[in-house]
Amino acid sequence: MDKKIIYFSKEAQKGELLKYYLLNEGIELSLTETTEDADNDLASAALLIYDKESYGSIWASDIQKLRGSKALLLVLLAEEDDIMAKLSVLSLGADLCLPGTTTVIELAAYIQAIIRRKALEDQEQGSVSYGDVSLSRTERTARVNSIPLNLTPNEFEFLLYLIDADRAVSKEELLSAVWGYADSYLRTNVAEDLVKRLRKKLREHKSHLNIEAIRGYGWRLSIDEH
């Protein structure tokens, strides 16, 4: 599961402090003030946090827009002990409401718990994801932003291996794991050819996932933030 979080708030200081706490847990927090600024990142986020108290009367339309992406979790910060406010945001699609007095440390703990729970759910369902790309182990299918991505069996295995590894992987290791080549010194371009095809398919689907080449070694995955 991707660990990217988007925090919608006009309280920059609070956001920066939360970003610092989460960074130590390997969780990336993106700070933004408007839903429009985050359009390109919504599909690749694991969790959205919307600070209702920062936005006055426009909060309802913002929440409806954010909830339009079914795959995303959503945390709303509502007024403490305001039952009507909680009912309102829940009816608009919020998954969890926290009082506006929630401290940054408490919020960081909630986020970590949600990320852990969702990761376990994904594992039980046999699915993995990296950025906006998700793979189903059981169904042997791939998607970009919920749109089907047609992959050959080897393309699927190659991408799955890189996601599971979550590190740079050598060409020899991939040749052995994906193609079953025992000779690590076998001269073949099958891996390079597959990477070219995969990159083309990802571009056609406007994915932000990159397959980075490490000269003389192999490949690793990364996310293009632009």
Looking at residue 87, its pLDDT comes to 82
| 136, 202: one domain | yes
Domain boundary among 124, 146, 179: 124
Distance CA 97, CA 101 (A): 12
| 17, 117: one domain | yes
Distance CA 48, CA 213 (A): 32
Distance CA 223, CA 182 (A): 31
Domain boundary among 78, 94, 124: 124
In this structure, the number of other CB atoms found within 10 A of the CB of residue 69 comes to 14
Q: How far apart are the first and last CA of the chain?
A: 21
Looking at residue 18, its pLDDT comes to 92
| 102, 16: one domain | yes
SS3 77: strand
pLDDT per residue of the chain (226 residues) written in tens, 0 to 9 = 456 789 998 888 888 999 998 987 778 888 988 888 777 777 777 788 888 877 777 888 888 888 776 546 677 776 666 777 778 888 887 788 888 888 889 999 988 888 888 777 766 667 888 988 999 988 889 999 889 999 998 999 999 999 989 899 999 899 888 988 766 555 678 899 999 999 999 999 999 999 999 999 999 999 886 5
Q: Please state whether the predicted TM-score (pTM) of the whole model is above 0.75.
A: no
Q: What CATH number corresponds to the domain at position 30?
A: 3.40.50.2300
The domain of 143 spans 127-223
Q: Name residue, tokens 């709303």.
A: 76
Angle at 64 between CA 63 and CA 70, to 5 degrees: 100
Domain boundary among 109, 124, 139: 124
Number of domains in the chain: 2
